[in-house]
C-alpha cells in the first residue's frame, strides 16, 4: 500500500473531527471599529506626530516632496512610539523585488551605544534607507556581485503597517528597491513613475473641461482567485510543494461539468478561513469586501473595494502573504498558481482600472450631466487607442510560465489582446466615426448620444467574459493577469501607455485650436480620427473561438501564445519606446527586467522538469512495476493451470501498462536531451525557447502516459494523492 497518500487521507479524517473551526481572533465588533488598526494612517499620524511633521508627510504623500533629515527623524520617532504602543519589537523595510513575491529584512529597535548602553531606537535614516544584501535578489545584470549593494528607500505614499505572526509584531515600512546608482530593481518604482507620468499627462487633458482638476490618480480594484487544499494532501504531493501545480494527475470523473461550485455555498472549513483572513486584512486596512466560490471545485475569489493604484498593489501583495499564513493556521494551503490542476479552470486576477481626479470624478464613468460626456468620451477613446498601439507590451506584462497554461486554454482570455466595449458604446463610436462633420452640431449630437445611453454599468458587466480587456460601465477590466502575479507589472504598462497617449492627444488638440478650431470641435475631430485608427483592436464576439484567431491575424493583431515570444517586445522598438519615453524604465533597467523575466521562466521550467523526473522515477514507476509484476504473475499462474484463455483482461491491462512505461522511458530520455540542449544553449533567449518547445512537450508526453496509468494501476498502490481527493475531500 502507498503509505504517504493513505496517511495523508487518514490525517484529514482525524483532523475533521478534532480541528476547531473558528481559529481566528473574533473581534465581535463592527468591521469599522477595527479597520486599519494596524496601519499608521491619518489618525495615528495626527496623534503621534507634531503638526508640522504630519503636514510635511501629507505633502510628501500627495506631491512627492522630499522630507528633510530632521522631519524624517521626527516621523521615525513617532512611528516607533506608535508601533511600540502596539507591541512591536522590530521594524522591517518591506519591498517587492522582481521575484514577484515580497521581501522584508527585520531589525530590532533594540541596539547598543558605543559605550555599551542598551537603547531602543529608530532613526530617520533607518526609516528612509536600508541596505539589504542585494545579491540574493534578481537584478538582471544591473549589479555585479562585487558591488552587490541594493538599497530600499521609504515610499511615504503607502502607509506603514504592523505584521503580526503569533505574538511577534513587526513594523513594516513600504519601500522601493534600487541599485547604488538608483536604478529600479523592483515592481514598485516603475509603478510609481508610471503613476506620476499619468498624472502629468492627464491633468492638462482634464483642464480642457474643468480648470479645478489638479491631480489624477489611477485606481485599481483587483479580484484575486485561488485554490484551497488540505495541508496534509498538499504535503503528500511533492509537485505542489516544489512547483505550486500538479505536474501529474488524471482529471477526476467529476470536475466542474455540473457547474455546481460557482457561487455555491462555501464549505465550512474554507468559510472559517475566509472570515479569519478578512479580520486580518481589515486590521491591515485592506478593504476586502467580496468572497465567493469560483468555477472550479476548491476554487475561490476575494476582492476589495478599489483604491489608489500603488496602495491597491501593496494591499494585494500583502493579502497574498496574509492568506498563506492564515491558511496554515487552518491546516489549509492556498494555491496562487495560474493552473494548479489540469482539466479544471485556472486562476486569474482581474485588474479593474480607471482614473480619478482630486475633484472626485471617475474619468471612465459616463456622467448624468451631458456637459461632462465629452470628457468621458475623451478618456474612453484614448484608452482604446493606447491599447491599440501598445497591446504587445501589455501582453508581455502578463507573460510568465504559469500564465502560459491559462491564456488561450478556452477558459481564460486568449493571448490575443483585444478590447470589448459593449454594443451601445460600439454603435456610438461607429456613429461618431462615420459622421461627416465635426462641427458644433456634431459635438452636440455626440454628447447627446452618450446621455441617452442605457446604464452601461448594468448593461456591460459580465456581458462578455471571454475578452481580455473589457469596459464594464465605469472602468476597464484587464482579465488576463495571472493569479500569482504582482499587479504592478501590467498596471505600470497601463499607466505608461495611457500617459503617452494623453500627451499625444493634447498635442493633437492644441495643433487644431492653434489654427483657430473651436476647442470642442477639435476634441471631436481628434477622437474621430482615433476611433477610425484603433478599430482593429475592438472585438465584441467570442474570444475563445478559432474564427477569432483567424480574424485577429487578418487584422494584424499578434497572438503570442508563449512567454518567450511574448517577452520579445521588451527588446524591440515598441517596448523600448514605451518604457523609455514614459520614463518608467530606462534602457538599462528594461534590459535587466527582460533578462530577469527570461531567467525566471527558464528556472521555473527547470524546476518543473527535475521535479517531474524525480516524481516519476522514484514514486510512480515503482508502484507501476509492482502492479505489473502482479499481473504478470497472475497470467503465468493461469497459464500453469492451462487457463491462459481466461486471462484476456489481465493481458490487455499488462499491454497497456507496458506501452505506457515505454512511453515514459522515451519521454524521460528525450526530456534529458532537450534539457541538456537548454543548458548548452549559451544564450538565455535560446534557452527559453528550448524549454518552451522541446522540454515542455516531453513533460506533457510523460504526463499523458502517467495519467493513463493512474486509471489502471491498483488504487492501493498509487502513491500520489488523486485529483478527486485534492479537490473534493475537505
Ligand atoms: P464584478 O461584477 O466584476 O464583481 P464590481 O463592479 O463589483 O464587478 O467590481 C469589481 C472590482 O472593481 C471591485 O474591486 C471594485 O471595487 C472595482 N472598481 C469599481 N469601480 C472602480 C474604479 N473606478 N476603478 C477601479 N476599480 C473599480
Ligand atoms: Mg470582475
Q: How confident is the model at residue 131 (pLDDT cuts 50, 70, 90)?
A: confident
Nearest Cα residue to atom 8 of ligand 1: 461
pLDDT score recorded for residue 577: 97
Three-state SS string over 188-226 comes to HHHHHHHHHHHHHHHHHHHHCCCCCCCCEEEEEEEEEEE
* pTM given for the model: 0.95
Q: For residue 230, report the distance from its CA to the centre of ligand 2, in Å.
A: 27
Best of 306, 353, 363, 490 for a ligand 1 pocket test (most atoms within 8 Å of beta carbon): 306
- From CA 196, how far away is CA 191, in angstroms rounded? 9
CATH of domain 195-585: 3.30.590.10
The pLDDT, as a whole number, for residue 21 is 59
More confident residue, 17 or 73: 73
For 304-358, the pLDDT digits (tens) are 999 999 999 999 999 999 999 999 999 999 999 999 999 999 999 999 999 999 9
Ligand 1 — pocket residues by CB below 6 A?
219-221, 223, 303-306, 352-354, 362, 461, 474-475
The DSSP symbol for 633 reads H
Q: Is the pLDDT of residue 514 over 70?
A: yes
Query: What is the average pLDDT score of the chain?
Result: 91
Asked if pLDDT for residue 461 goes beyond 60, the answer is: no
The DSSP output letter for 252 is P
- Gap from CA of 290 to ligand 1 centroid (Å): 11
Q: What is the pLDDT of residue 138?
A: 78
445 versus 421: the higher-pLDDT residue is: 421
> What CATH class has 601-728?
mainly alpha
Mapped onto helix, strand or coil, the DSSP state of residue 366 is: coil
Residue nearest to atom 13 of ligand 1 (CA): 221
Better-scored residue on pLDDT, 371 or 125? 125
Q: How far is CA 183 from CA 65, 186, 257, 583, in A?
A: 20, 9, 49, 12
- Quote the ligand 1 centre to 303 CA distance (angstroms): 9
What's the residue count for the chain?
A: 730
Report the nearest atom of ligand 1 relative to the CA of 289.
Answer: 14
Among 224, 289, 302, 303, the mutation site with the greatest number of ligand 1 atoms within 8 A of its Cβ is 303
Least confident of 133-147, 404-418, 608-622, 629-643: 133-147
| Whole-number pLDDT of residue 468 | 94
Question: Which pLDDT tens digit goes with each residue over 149-169?
Answer: 789 999 998 999 999 988 899
Query: Could you report the per-residue pLDDT of 263-304, keeping only the tens digit for each?
Result: 566 788 899 999 999 999 999 999 999 888 888 889 999 999
Closest ligand 1 atom, CA of 303?
Answer: 14
Q: How far is the CA of 347 from the centre of ligand 2 (A)?
A: 13
Which-ligand-closest: CA of 478? 2
- Calpha distance 502→702 (Å, rounded): 51
pLDDT tens track for 534-579: 999 999 998 988 899 999 999 999 999 999 999 999 999 999 999 9
Atom of ligand 1 nearest to the CA of 306: 16
Mean pLDDT calculated for residue range 694-719: 97
Q: How confident is the model at residue 593 (pLDDT cuts 50, 70, 90)?
A: very high
pLDDT at position 522: 96
Q: Which CATH architecture describes the domain 34-183?
A: Roll (3.10)
Listed range (100-104, 453-457, 549-553) with the worst mean pLDDT: 453-457
pLDDT score for 66: 77
Beta strands in 441-538 (DSSP E): 469-471, 476-478
Neighbours of ion ligand 2 (CB under 5 A): 350
List all residues 6 or more positions away from 401 whose beta carbon is below 8 Å from its beta carbon.
563, 600, 601, 604, 605, 608
> Among the listed ranges 6-20, 519-533, 540-554, which one has the minimum average pLDDT value?
6-20
Distance 14 CA to ligand 1 centre (A): 41
Which pLDDT score is estimated for 141?
A: 73
Average pLDDT over residues 238-264: 82
Using the atom order of ligand 1, give the atom closest to the CA of residue 474.
23
| Cα–ligand 2 centroid distance for 456 (angstroms) | 15
Alpha carbon distance 100, 601 (integer Å)? 12
User: Does residue 474 contact residue 456 with C-beta atoms inside 8 Å?
Assistant: yes
Atom number in ligand 1 closest to CA 220 = 25
**Which residue's alpha carbon is at the smallest distance from atom 14 of ligand 1?**
221
596-641 pLDDT tens trace: 999 999 999 999 999 999 999 999 999 999 999 999 999 999 999 9
d(CA 224, CA 251): 24
Q: What is the pLDDT of residue 177?
A: 93
Higher local confidence (pLDDT), 180 or 173: 173
Domains of the chain, by residue range, sit at: 34-183, 195-585, 601-728
Q: Please, which residues have CB within 8 angstroms of residue 354's CB and are 6 or more apart in sequence? A: 218, 219, 306, 362, 363, 364, 365, 474, 475, 476
Q: Ligand 2 centroid to 80 CA: how many Å?
A: 39
User: pLDDT value at position 258?
Assistant: 63
For residue 252, pLDDT beyond 90: no
Residue 662: pLDDT band (50, 70, 90) is very high
Predicted local confidence at residue 263, as pLDDT: 59
Q: What percent of the chain has pLDDT over 70?
A: 94
Amino acid at each position: 500500500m502507498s503509505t504517504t497518500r493513505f496517511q495523508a487521507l487518514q490525517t484529514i479524517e482525524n483532523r475533521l473531527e478534532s480541528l476547531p473551526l473558528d481559529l481566528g481572533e473574533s473581534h465581535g465588533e463592527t468591521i469599522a471599529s477595527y479597520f486599519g488598526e494596524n496601519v499608521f494612517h491619518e489618525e495615528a499620524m495626527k496623534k503621534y506626530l507634531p503638526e508640522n511633521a504630519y503636514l510635511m508627510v501629507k505633502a510628501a504623500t500627495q506631491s512627492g516632496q522630499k522630507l528633510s533629515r530632521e522631519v524624517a527623524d521626527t516621523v521615525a520617532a513617532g512611528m516607533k512610539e506608535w508601533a511600540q504602543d502596539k507591541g512591536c519589537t522590530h521594524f522591517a523595510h518591506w519591498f517587492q523585488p522582481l521575484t514577484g513575491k515580497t521581501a522584508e529584512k527585520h531589525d530590532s529597535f533594540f541596539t547598543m551605544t558605543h559605550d555599551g548602553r542598551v537603547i531602543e531606537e529608530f532613526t530617520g535614516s533607518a526609516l528612509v534607507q536600508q541596505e539589504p544584501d542585494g545579491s540574493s535578489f534578481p537584478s538582471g545584470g544591473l549589479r555585479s556581485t562585487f558591488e552587490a549593494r541594493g538599497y530600499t528607500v521609504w515610499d511615504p505614499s503607502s502607509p506603514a503597517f504592523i505584521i503580526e505572526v503569533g505574538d511577534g509584531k513587526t513594523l513594516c515600512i513600504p519601500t522601493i528597491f534600487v541599485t547604488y546608482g538608483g536604478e529600479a530593481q523592483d515592481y514598485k518604482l516603475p509603478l510609481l513613475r508610471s503613476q506620476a507620468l499619468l498624472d502629468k499627462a492627464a491633468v492638462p487633458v482634464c483642464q480642457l473641461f474643468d480648470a479645478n482638476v489638479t491631480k489624477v490618480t489611477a485606481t485599481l480594484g483587483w479580484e484575486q482567485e485561488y485554490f484551497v487544499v488540505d495541508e496534509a494532501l498538499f504535503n503528500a504531493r511533492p509537485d505542489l510543494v516544489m512547483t505550486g501545480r500538479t505536474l501529474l494527475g488524471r482529471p477526476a470523473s467529476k470536475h466542474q461539468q455540473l457547474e455546481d461550485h460557482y457561487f455555491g455555498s462555501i464549505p465550512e472549513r474554507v468559510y472559517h478561513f475566509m472570515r479569519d483572513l478578512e479580520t486580518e486584512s481589515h486590521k491591515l486596512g485592506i478593504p476586502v469586501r467580496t468572497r465567493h466560490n469560483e468555477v472550479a471545485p476548491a476554487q475561490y475569489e476575494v476582492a476589495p473595494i478599489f483604491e489608489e493604484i500603488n496602495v491597491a498593489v501593496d494591499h494585494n501583495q500583502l493579502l497574498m502573504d496574509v492568506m498563506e499564513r492564515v491558511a496554515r493556521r487552518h491546516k489549509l494551503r492556498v494555491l496562487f498558481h495560474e493552473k494548479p490542476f489540469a482539466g479544471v479552470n485556472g486562476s486569474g486576477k482581474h485588474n479593474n482600472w480607471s482614473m480619478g481626479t482630486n475633484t472626485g470624478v471617475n474619468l471612465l464613468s459616463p456622467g448624468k450631466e451631458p456637459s461632462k460626456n465629452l470628457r468621458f468620451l475623451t478618456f474612453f477613446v484614448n484608452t482604446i487607442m493606447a491599447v491599440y498601439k501598445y497591446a504587445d507590451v501589455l501582453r508581455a506584462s502578463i507573460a510568465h510560465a504559469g500564465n502560459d497554461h491559462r491564456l488561450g486554454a478556452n477558459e481564460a482570455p486568449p493571448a490575443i489582446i483585444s478590447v470589448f466595449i459593449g454594443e451601445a458604446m460600439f454603435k456610438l463610436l461607429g456613429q461618431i466615426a462615420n459622421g461627416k462633420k465635426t462641427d458644433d452640431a456634431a459635438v452636440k449630437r455626440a454628447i447627446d448620444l452618450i446621455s441617452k445611453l442605457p446604464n452601461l454599468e448594468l448593461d456591460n458587466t459580465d456581458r462578455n467574459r471571454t475578452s481580455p480587456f473589457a469596459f464594464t460601465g465605469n472602468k476597464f477590466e484587464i482579465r488576463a493577469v495571472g493569479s500569482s502575479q504582482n499587479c504592478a507589472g501590467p498596471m505600470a504598462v497601463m499607466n505608461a501607455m495611457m500617459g503617452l497617449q494623453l500627451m499625444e492627444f493634447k498635442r493633437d488638440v492644441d495643433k487644431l485650436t492653434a489654427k483657430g478650431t473651436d476647442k470642442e470641435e477639435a476634441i471631436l475631430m481628434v477622437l474621430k480620427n482615433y476611433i477610425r485608427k484603433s478599430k482593429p483592436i475592438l472585438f465584441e464576439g467570442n474570444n475563445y473561438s478559432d474564427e477569432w484567431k483567424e480574424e485577429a491575424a487578418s487584422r494584424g493583431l499578434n497572438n503570442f501564445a508563449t512567454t518567450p515570444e511574448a517577452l520579445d517586445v521588451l527588446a524591440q522598438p515598441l517596448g523600448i519606446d514605451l518604457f523609455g519615453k514614459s520614463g518608467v524604465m530606462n534602457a538599462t533597467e528594461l534590459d535587466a527586467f527582460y533578462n530577469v523575466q527570461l531567467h525566471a521562466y527558464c528556472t521555473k521550467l527547470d524546476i518543473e522538469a527535475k521535479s517531474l523526473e524525480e516524481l516519476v522515477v522514484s514514486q510512480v514507476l515503482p508502484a507501476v512495476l509492482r502492479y505489473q509484476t502482479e499481473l504478470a504473475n497472475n497470467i503465468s499462474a493461469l497459464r500453469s493451470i492451462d487457463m491462459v484463455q481466461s486471462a484476456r483482461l489481465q493481458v490487455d491491462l499488462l499491454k497497456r501498462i507496458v506501452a505506457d512505461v515505454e512511453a515514459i522511458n522515451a519521454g524521460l530520455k528525450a526530456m534529458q536531451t532537450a534539457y541538456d540542449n537548454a543548458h548548452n544553449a549559451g544564450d538565455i533567449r535560446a534557452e527559453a525557447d528550448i524549454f518552451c518547445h522541446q522540454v515542455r512537450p516531453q513533460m506533457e508526453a510523460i504526463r499523458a502516459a502517467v495519467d493513463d496509468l493512474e486509471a489502471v494501476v491498483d488504487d492501493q498502490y498509487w502513491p500520489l494523492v488523486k485529483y478527486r481527493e485534492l479537490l473534493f475531500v475537505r
